[in-house]
Amino acid sequence: MNPKGKTALITGGAVRVGKAITLALAQAGANVVINYHSSSTAAEETTGLKKAGYESSKNKPVIVGARQSAH
């Protein structure tokens, strides 16, 4: 599988195994979306990605119900 140019959503992608997966996919050329619980952890992770030379931004999640997401 070649992840270059593809987008991956990594749940728990800011710490431990998820962080390693995030970095590996980014190094392979994938666009990564990190789902996280703690905004301070996410802020640290996005800063770390920027320092490593990757583009990074933090966005506020939007929560929708099942009915809304189906439309």
**pLDDT tens, 16-50?**
888 889 889 999 999 888 877 766 766 677 777 77
Closest CA to 20 of 48, 40, 55, 62: 48
The pTM assigned to this predicted structure is 0.69
Is residue 2 assigned to a domain? no
Question: How much is the pLDDT for 2?
Answer: 93
Q: How confident is the model at residue 4 (pLDDT cuts 50, 70, 90)?
A: very high
Number of domains in the chain: 1
Question: How much is the pLDDT for 25?
Answer: 92
Is residue 1 assigned to a domain? no
Please say whether the dihedral angle defined by the alpha carbons of residues 54, 43, 45 and 18, taken in this order, is positive or negative: negative
Is residue 26 assigned to a domain? yes
**Residue predicted with more confidence, 24 or 57:** 24
Domain that includes residue 12, residue range: 7-69
Q: How far is CA 31 from the centre of its chain?
A: 8
